[in-house]
Amino acid sequence: MDIKTVICGVAALIFGVLWFNSFSNMAKMKKKFKKDIKKMESYMALGHNKSQKSKKQIKAEENKRKLEHANKEKKLADEFSEKRISSAFWQKQNEQNRDFHIRKLNEFKGIHIGLNKKFSKIFEECLVERKFALATLYYEACKELYPDDPVNKTRQAQIERYRITNRLKMAFMKINPGEFKMGGRPSERGKGKDELWHKVKLSYGFYMMETEVTQEMYDAVLNTRKGTIRKVDQIKVKTPAKHKGVDRPIENISHDEVKTFITRLNNLDIGHYRLPTEAEWEYAARGGYHTNAFGEFKTPAPTDWYSKNSDGATHDVAGRHPNAYGLYDMLGNVSEWVSDYYAPYERGSLIVNPRGPESGKSMVYRGGAFNSSDLNARVAKRNNEVSGERNGSLGFRLVLDRK
């Protein structure tokens, strides 16, 4: 064997070894490459799923935001609609209402009030709709602008025809029959569990006392003899009231003592008097409106004495604005006994002339007092107390029955 053959053999061997190693490495690289590809595909699939999930979340959040926005818009629309309905009353009860009405009437200056058809129409509508407060404001503004106008006497007479006054200076406003929503609205702030929102019908009219019974009136009845009535200003007031004053409401008086007072008053033969039922009281307090009477507004200051404006004491009756039925202090000054025993409201689609249960452990009293927060001075707020207990912030007003 020559040297050339040996060299060729060695070269072939080396080439074979190199080729084998190269093939082996290529196989390993191919295998690793496939493995890497699978891993990348796995990561890509995982990333795709995450992306899909994220889009779903984004869509869900967007739908949620749209729903919240729609609900907010609906709530604002409902509030606007409700306030717009009640604004004819509440705007007139603002502290600036007198100036507002005078400005309105000044628009018609030069036209005699008796010939002002627009004013007459507004006035008549106020009376027909039982909006005594609004009618009275127009009357007062008109009287200020036209003090010598004889038509003013006619306007006052129209207001007075809904008002009855007895010899003890007790004034009563006529409340016509009607239907209303009783209790707390579902969304009402501060609503209690016993304030079921339900529809009530009163098929009869009644006369509600314009103010709470004053200390002077209370003492006048208790100091009279049967069949005789002394003038109230001739009687020295001696009452159990904690906040003394002849024109302040009687308070610190129990339900039993109120019944004694009413019996004594009815014996004077000047009419038949009683406490209002809970439904009568709330119907009169709402003044013909389905809202909260304070509405959804934060403060009841224009209409009643409560904790934020009373200085911790009662005040003379009729010291604030009346409600739309011409009644004063329905939600402030002192709370008021009614004739119902305390119990959950009767359920039904329409409750007619409710009067509460025939017996119970405690009596209902309604309305806020001089020491009540705004949430406790709501028209729907219910309270109760045993009939023999006194309370320095609890008084009453009467209903006059007329056949």
Residues 241 and 200 both lie in one domain: yes
Query: 4: buried, middle or exposed (CB in 10 Å: 19+, 13-18, 0-12)?
Result: exposed
Instruction: Report whether pLDDT(96) > 70.
Output: no
What confidence tier does 50 reach under pLDDT thresholds 50, 70, 90? very low
Query: What does the H/E/C string look like for 148-206?
Result: CCCHHHHHHHHHHCCEEECCCCCEEEEECCEEEEECCCCCCCCCCCCCCCEEEEECCCE
Least confident span in 107-121, 231-245, 302-316, 388-402: 107-121
Q: Which of 70-84, 123-137, 300-314, 332-346 has the lowest mean pLDDT?
A: 123-137
Contact between 81 and 73 under an 8 Å Cβ cutoff? The reply is no
Q: Are 363 and 234 members of one domain?
A: yes
Query: In this predicted model, which residue has the larger pLDDT, 353 or 157?
Result: 353
Report pLDDT for 139. Answer: 54
24 pLDDT band, cuts 50/70/90, is low
Whether residue 68 lies inside any domain: the answer is no
| CB distance 88 to 122 below 8 Å | no
128 vs 251, which has greater pLDDT? 251
Identify the weakest region by mean pLDDT among 31-45, 66-80, 338-352, 378-392.
31-45
Contact residues for 162 (Cβ-Cβ < 8 A; gap 6+): 127, 130, 132, 173, 174, 326
What band does 104 get if pLDDT is binned at 50, 70 and 90?
A: low
> What local confidence, expressed as pLDDT, does residue 115 receive?
46
Domain that holds residue 236: 163-403
The domain tally of the chain equals: 2
- The answer to whether 133 and 89 have CB atoms below 8 angstroms apart is yes
Answer yes or no: is 246 within a domain: yes
Query: In the predicted model, is pLDDT for residue 132 greater than 70?
Result: no
Highest mean pLDDT among 6-20, 132-146, 291-305, 360-374: 360-374
Rounded CA-CA distance 6/64 in Å is 86
Q: Does 269 share its domain with 137?
A: no
User: Which range is least confidently modeled, 61-75, 207-221, 235-249, 294-308?
Assistant: 294-308
Q: For residues 80 and 284, which has the higher predicted lDDT (pLDDT)?
A: 284
Task: Report, as an integer, the average pLDDT of 86-95.
Answer: 54
Q: Is the pLDDT of residue 294 over 90?
A: no
Nearest to 196 by CA among 177, 182, 213, 216: 182
pLDDT mean over 214-234: 71
288 and 170 both lie in a single domain: yes
Out of 13-27, 347-361, 364-378, which region has the weakest mean confidence (pLDDT)?
Answer: 13-27
Domain membership flag for residue 65:
no
CB atoms within 10 A of CB 104: 14
Residue 242, domain member (yes or no): yes
Look at residue 198 and tell me if it is in a domain: yes
Span of 73-82, 115-124, 369-378 with lowest mean pLDDT: 115-124
At 128 the pLDDT is 47
Does the pLDDT value for residue 289 go beyond 80? no
Are 308 and 369 within one domain?
A: yes
Taking only the tens place, the pLDDT of each residue in 166-183 is: 988 999 999 999 999 999
Residues 137 and 199 in one domain: no
Q: Is residue 70 part of a domain?
A: no
- Are 176 and 251 contained in the same domain? yes
Tell me what the mean pLDDT of segment 76-95 comes to: 58
pLDDT at residue 57 above 50? yes
For the segment 39-43, the average pLDDT, to the nearest whole number, is: 65
Arithmetic mean of pLDDT, 226-244: 64
Q: What is the pLDDT of residue 90?
A: 52
Q: Could you tell me if residue 195 is inside a domain?
A: yes
State yes or no: pLDDT of 288 exceeds 80: no
CB 263 within 8 A of CB 242: no
Residue 280 predicted with pLDDT over 80: yes
The arithmetic mean of pLDDT across residues 68-90, rounded, is 65
Specify whether 154 is located in the same domain as 183: no
Q: What is the mean pLDDT of the chain?
A: 77
25-29, 105-109, 185-189, 344-348 — which is least confidently predicted?
105-109
Average pLDDT over residues 108-124: 51
* Model pLDDT, residue 147: 59
Considering the domain architecture, whether residues 124 and 151 belong to the same structural domain is answered as: yes
Instruction: Please name which of 253, 256, 267 lies closest in space to residue 218, comparing C-alpha atoms.
Output: 253
Same domain as 200, residue 346: yes
Using DSSP bridges, classify how beta strands 351-352 and 198-202 pair: parallel, antiparallel or unpaired.
parallel
Domain containing residue 254: CATH number: 3.90.1580.10
Higher-confidence position of 116 and 215:
215
Q: Note whether 269 and 146 are same-domain residues.
A: no
User: Considering the domain boundaries, does residue 319 fall inside one?
Assistant: yes
- ∠ CA 94-285-258, nearest 5°, is 130
If asked whether residues 272 and 378 sit together in one domain, one would say yes
Q: How far apart are CA 167 and CA 260, in angstroms?
A: 20
